[in-house]
Structure 1
Amino acid sequence: MFPFMLRLAGPAATLAAALLCTAPRACAQTELRMWTLLGGGDGARMAALVERFNASQREVRVTSTTLAWGEPFYTKLITSSVVGAGPDLAIVHLSRLPNLAGGGVLRPIAAAELRTAGLAPGDFYPRQWQKSLYAGRNYAVPLDLHPLVLYYNKALAGRAGLLDADGALKPLVGIDALGDAFRAVRQATGRPGLTMESSQSSYAVWRLWVSMLAQRNAPLIRDGRFAYGAAGADSLARVARWFQLGYAQPGLDYAASTGQFMGGQAGFMINGAWEVPELVRASRRGTLGFDYGIVPLPRMYGNDSVWGDSHAFALPANAGKPLPPHKLRAALRFVAFVSRNADAWAEGGHLPAYRPVAESPAVRALMPNRLYAGAARSVVYDPDGWYMGAAGPLEAMASKYLPAALSSQLTPAQALRLFDTEAARILARRAPRY
């Protein structure tokens, strides 16, 4: 050791070490608070990614808190951000971005800020990136895409003559072909041809209805007013008919409908891709009792449109308490880590939005995701509007009235009239600024 270094021993050495930490945050660990609405398998996977990130370095520690899905989460996020008490980072749905960004709940993310984390708009699929923009500015980093898909029980579908020589579902093209498939299972097996959540407050009928409108090139809303017209009434009547003819059991909540399919008691299930992990887990354990398949939602009308949504990372504005630079860098560093390790997230059935991972050989070969990955080309989100999106005001009203048409409590025309009348009041309101 050189003489001048020896002279730094003792108290002087401590002083020298302290001087080395005079750069901002040089020696302190940055604590990052994140809120999510991810439950079940999604919650477990995100928790594992957080743990991996925390273990991969010492500069940043992410603490994740899971809140109740839906409106409770968004109400708390909005309220906390307005008073400056929100988290540093949040996972939201892109369908809620017009409400959150337009309402001042989120802060924009500049391209230069993304570059510090090694991210760029071109790293993400255009449809998801475009949905991350509001008024021309970026407010979120998309994580995934989760579309509506069609699950099928190969044993029941096979008995109904619906499988080809390789054991895959024969193409179902047209609304009549889809209904005929449900009927064939019912007649051949005595079990429901279809299961989907259909109780009051169910969202599945809204997602299916939005898909059907898009396939018919029928706008839901135009110039601030409902514009679905005869196409909307006919589409809802078609779905209601499946229930009236006994192809599907009305009144099932989410758990009951998924349980019906998982128990081998229904030929088909219309649900989101987020149910994939449960099927994979049960199949691996040998407790499922049947082989299953998945296909994109069939083309019922003129195109392949299908409802979908995306989880995304966003930065709450936290009025009066803007995110310090060191926390911004930490947040985007974590977002980049999750994006680059989204193969683990894909195991939850989601299609990654980060292209380098989504287009990797491993993810492209991932089963059963590759069976429905093509749906990403045809996804449609809820139309833009402060009242739209996951568990938003309009979807809540739709879940109040549309399921009643499936249980014959209301005719499809009555259900839509009540929905239209009540929801029109929301459409007429000025977008809130929180």
Structure 2
Amino acid sequence: MKRTLISLSLFALAAQASAVTTINYWDLLGGGDGERMQQLVDGFNKSQSDVKVQRTTLAWGVPYYTKLRTSAAVGQGPDLAILHLSRLSGWAEAKIVRPISTAELGSVGLSSKNFFPKLWDAASYKGQNYALPLDTHALVLYYNKDLLKKAGLLGADGAMKPLGSMAEFNAALNAVKTKTGALGVSFENGPNSYMPWRIWLALLAQQGGSIIKDNALTYGPLGASTLNTMTDWVKNGLATKNVDYPTSVAQFVNGKAAFMLNGVWEVPTLVDGRKSGKIGFDYGVMPMPKLYANQSTWADSHSFIIPNNVGKAASPEKINAALKFVAYAQKNALVWAGGGMIPANQGVTNSAAFKALKPNADFSATTAQNVTFDPLGWYSGAAGPLEAASAKYFPAAINGQLPVDKALGSFETEAKKLFNAAPKP
């Protein structure tokens, strides 16, 4: 009798173990982002016993995307992965990612209404949804209130005086230089840096310009005038040339620059530095100001996708299990917001808990409504060939190594080669 009971117990345990669905999940999230994602994975795994997420983190950028693409092509990709939305059009066209149906979303309590409209649009391709955005990480403006006060740029209420045009922004940079001796603005502009592309794209979009349409360059004279605006910041001593990323952050954190153009991911640096006493000045973070006709800003988004593993179609059970984790991450996106990211889920961003999160709540809603992504195309997106081409020539123009027209000419030559190599729809 005891032997029978033991056998039945072992059988029950085996059945229970076999009922657990394991989801292999890949991402490219390191540092603080990686730690917060691990919190979400661990929290989900502890919250229930039906699904177990096994996380693998690969090197950011080209190594990650190459591995993900080639693995899916031979049926060895993960069940779930992170993709920058800026890459989605090319990946959806090449059928590397699998569409996610309305019914599948509904089975875990999600729908298009959960997400900011611009993000949902960016997650769709030719009328089908292919990705579930987790966040918006956008270009914002950081400012040093102490330096601005000395420069006469704070109002009586202690708030920064409005910046309503590029002329006003440039005047503010000059006031800082003249009255405090500090740099007007800090931004990464060293060799092979992506930040010039992001700023250029944002300022172009604010002027109603576009970069590419139907595999043709469309920015025209605006492209040159916008890049000239950025080169003038360095030429006029309002910013430092040949600045790598760590130095650009250090210039602001150490009180050497009144403004910093950077992504929301640097919010934890400021929050932690202020708490620890390493940052001795009062600061603020605001949406990219409306310097031209609108308030557009460059942005990208970490999103969840289901890879289309060739010859190994995902079962309904696997898809549902993967989406259960996605739904958990959406519901608990306040954890993710701790890294400065703006949750893509409107319910979280509109919650009282998020509105109490400072400085995130000061820039999030406006920023999420005004995002502009990289142009569509297989060559586009985070660490993609088009951004890599810009990183060769835009910093060289900003640092006075190439005239703006020659820098844009070289960029255009490489871009047109990419267009000719693009796969036909």
Relative to the length of structure 1, the TM-score reads: 0.93
Mark the runs of 5 or more structure 1 residues left unpaired by the alignment: 1-7
1:412 corresponding residue in structure 2:
404
Q: Does the 8 Å CA contact 1:103/1:432 hold for their aligned counterparts? A: no
Q: Is the 8 A contact 1:82 1:319 kept in 2?
A: yes
Kindly indicate whether residue 163 of structure 2 is the aligned counterpart of residue 172 of structure 1.
yes
The root-mean-square deviation of aligned C-alpha atoms, in Å, is 1.9
Tell me whether 1:297 sits opposite 2:276 in the alignment.
no
Higher-Rg member (1/2): 1
Answering whether residue 110 of structure 2 is matched by residue 119 of structure 1, we say yes
8 Å CA contact 2:144–2:281 kept in 1: the answer is yes
Conserved? CA contact 1:401–1:415, under 8 Å: yes
Per the alignment, residue 385 of structure 1 pairs with 377
How big is the shift at 1:111?
1.3
Identity over aligned residues, as a percent? 48
Amino acid at match of 1:107: R
Q: Which runs of 4+ in 1 moved over 6 A?
A: 19-22
The residue type paired with residue 358 of structure 2 is M
Q: Which residue of 2 aligns with 1:44?
A: 35
Partner of 2:167, secondary structure, is helix
Query: Which residue is 1:11 aligned to?
Result: 4
Read off the aligned partner of 1:420 and give its amino acid letter. Answer: E
Q: Is the 8 A contact 2:116 2:368 kept in 1?
A: no
Aligned counterpart for 1:192 among listed residues 183, 186, 204: 183
After superposition, give the CA deviation of every residue in 1:241-270 in whole Å (9 maximum; x if it has no partner): 000111100111111111211111111100
Task: Show the 5 A alignment for 1:142-291.
Answer: 142-291=133-282
Equivalent residue for 1:376, pick from 368, 373, 383: 368
Q: 1:16 to 1:154 in 2, by over 3 A?
A: closer
Q: How many residues are treated as equivalent by the alignment?
A: 424
Helix, strand or coil at the partner of 2:280: coil
408, 415, 422: which one aligns with 1:423: 415
Distance 1:314 1:125 in 2: 18
Q: CA 1:152/1:140 → structure 2, altered by over 3 Å: closer, same or farther? A: same
Partners of 1:277 and 1:347 within 8 A in 2: yes
1:259 & 1:75 partners in 2: Cα distance? 32
| Aligned-residue offset at 1:26 | 7.3
**Is the 2:81–2:306 Cα contact (8 Å) retained in structure 1?**
yes
**Corresponding residue for residue 327 of structure 1:** 318
Letter in 2 for 1:11: T
Shift of 1:431: 2.3
Structure 1, residues 188-224: CA drift from partner, whole Å, max 9, x if none?
Answer: 2222111100012111111111111111112211332
> Aligned partners of 2:247 and 2:424: how far apart in 1?
37
Query: After superposition, where does 1:25-40 map in structure 2 within 5 Å?
Result: 27-40=18-31
Q: 8 Å contact 2:116–2:369 — kept in the other structure?
A: no
Secondary structure of the residue that 1:32 maps to in structure 2?
Answer: strand
Match of 1:346 in 2: 337
Q: Which moved more, 1:193-202 or 1:371-380?
A: 371-380
Which of 304, 307, 312 aligns to 1:313? It is: 304
- CA offset digits 1:268-298 (Å, max 9, x no partner): 1000111101111111111111111111111
For the residues of structure 1 that align with 2:378 and 2:171, how far apart are their CA atoms? Answer: 38
Contact 1:306 1:378 in 2 (8 A): yes
Question: C-alpha deviations, 1:105-152, integer Å up to 9, x for none?
Answer: 111111111122111121112111111111211111111111110001
**Aligned-pair distance for 1:167?**
2.2
> Which whole-Å CA distance do the structure 1 matches of 2:32 and 2:174 have between them?
33
Q: Distance in 2 between matches of 1:342 and 1:101?
A: 25
Unmatched runs of 5 consecutive residues or more in structure 2: none
Partner Cα separation in structure 2 for residue 154 and residue 19 of structure 1: 64
2:60 to 54, 69, 72: 69
Aligned letter for 2:403? T
User: For residue 5 of structure 1, what is the aligned residue in structure 2?
Assistant: none
- Offset of 1:158 from its aligned partner? 1.3
Q: Post-superposition shift, 1:20?
A: 10
Task: Letter of the 1:140 partner, please give it.
Answer: A
What SS does the aligned partner of 1:391 have?
coil
TM-score normalised by length of structure 2? 0.95
Residue-by-residue CA offset, 1:308-337 (whole Å, 9 max, x unaligned): 111100111111122233222211110000
Q: Secondary structure in 2 aligned to 1:372? A: helix
Aligned match for 1:401, one of 393, 401, 405: 393
User: In the aligned structure 1, how far is the partner of 2:278 from the partner of 2:52?
Assistant: 38
Whichever residue aligns with residue 276 of structure 1, its letter is V
1:12, CA displacement in angstroms?
Answer: 6.5
**Counterparts in 2 of 1:70-149, with a 5 A limit?**
70-149=61-140
Q: Does the CA-based 8 Å contact 2:381-2:387 persist in structure 1?
A: yes
Residue 116 and residue 246 in structure 1: after superposition, are their counterparts in 2 closer, same or farther (change >3 A)? same
Deviations 1:42-99 (A, max 9, x none): 1111111111111112222212122111112111111111111111111111111012
1:27 is displaced (CA, Å) by 4.2
Cα contact 1:96–1:390 (8 A) shared by 2: yes
Q: Secondary structure at the match of 1:267?
A: strand
